[in-house]
């Protein structure tokens, strides 16, 4: 809405000054050839934050859980210039990481402190059902093009889900009463879906009090068949 009249760089500057930058961002997983990478930025704008820089906001490197059926393995990663990198031994149906950043002070906007909990899930196939395990989760149901949103283990209705196609083109859908959404997936390449949910529960994290929790999860997967997609936009010029 308000930001549509600005260029991407002006938007980024505005968001950074209002403390919204982290919330406009997401984390997402890319996985190929036994190497998984957790990126922080905006997939549809081809923006990947770097270190030194905003990638350092996470403090510790998040762990990655690799799952094959009922077998779960926790993997340690390493921070690289533009991602957290993990070596994934063998095959996995799904990878999941739950990241946490320090509590954000939003007093300048008369808002309570925010605990932001971004998560990212990668799946080997959108045709195969995955059991939800993250606090806010987005998983395939096993039906073509159908996904389901869960919060604290229960289906979440009226959640806005954005699906970004390989070209950066995005579609949005609201989840039904049973938490399901449906997208057509015509292109081959990587898709990244995102859903957010705010919980007004207050608490304490590492000695810092917060008034609400912002959950975010992305779901990424690659389709190997379909129509060739236009390329993603070129990455914004870094300042």
Q: Is the pLDDT of residue 45 over 90?
A: no
If you average pLDDT over residues 177-194, what whole number do you get? 96
Residue with tokens 């919330």: 23
**Can you say how many angstroms the Cα of residue 225 is from the centroid of all Cα atoms in its chain?**
24
If you average pLDDT over residues 48-59, what whole number do you get? 92
> Whole-angstrom Cα distance, residue 210 to residue 99?
17
Q: Is the pLDDT of residue 169 over 50?
A: yes
Q: Is the pLDDT of residue 4 over 60?
A: no
Question: How confident is the model at residue 1, as a pLDDT?
Answer: 45
Secondary structure tally for the chain: helices H, strands E: 2, 19
Higher pLDDT, 41 or 231: 41
If you average pLDDT over residues 37-46, what whole number do you get? 93
The 10s digit of each residue's pLDDT in 121-145 is: 999 999 999 999 999 999 999 999 9
Q: Is the pLDDT of residue 171 over 70?
A: yes
- In the three-class reduction of DSSP (H, G, I as helix; E, B as strand; rest coil), residue 200 is classed as coil
Which DSSP symbol is given to 226? S
Question: How confident is the model at residue 2, as a pLDDT?
Answer: 43
Q: Cite the DSSP H helix spans in 8-90.
A: 8-17, 21-24
Question: How confident is the model at residue 15, as a pLDDT?
Answer: 43
If you average pLDDT over residues 179-186, what whole number do you get? 96
If you average pLDDT over residues 173-185, what whole number do you get? 97
Question: How confident is the model at residue 237, as a pLDDT?
Answer: 67
The 10s digit of each residue's pLDDT in 205-223 is: 999 999 999 999 999 999 9
If you average pLDDT over residues 66-72, what whole number do you get? 92
């Amino acid at each position: 809405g308000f930001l549509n009249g600005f260029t991407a760089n002006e938007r980024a500057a505005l968001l950074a000054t209002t403390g919204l930058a982290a919330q406009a961002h997401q984390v997402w997983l890319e996985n190929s050839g036994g190497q998984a990478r957790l990126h922080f930025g905006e997939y549809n704008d081809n923006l990947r934050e770097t270190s030194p820089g905003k990638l350092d906001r996470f403090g510790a490197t998040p762990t990655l859980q690799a799952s094959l059926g009922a077998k779960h393995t926790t993997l340690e990663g390493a921070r690289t210039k533009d991602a957290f990198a993990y070596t994934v031994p063998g095959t996995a149906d799904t990878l999941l990481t739950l990241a946490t950043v320090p509590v954000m002070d939003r007093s300048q906007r008369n808002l309570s402190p925010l605990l932001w909990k971004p998560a990212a899930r990668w799946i080997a196939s959108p045709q195969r059902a995955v059991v939800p395990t993250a606090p806010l989760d987005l998983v395939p149901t096993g039906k073509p093009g159908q996904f389901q949103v869960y919060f604290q283990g229960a289906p979440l209705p009226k959640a806005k889900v954005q699906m970004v196609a390989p070209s950066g083109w995005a579609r949005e859908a609201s989840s039904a009463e049973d938490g399901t959404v449906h997208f057509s997936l015509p292109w081959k390449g990587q898709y990244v879906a995102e859903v957010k949910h705010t919980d007004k529960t207050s608490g304490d994290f590492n000695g810092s009090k917060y008034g609400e929790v912002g959950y975010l999860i992305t779901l990424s997967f690659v389709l190997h068949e379909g129509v060739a997609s236009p390329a993603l936009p070129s990455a914004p010029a870094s300042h």
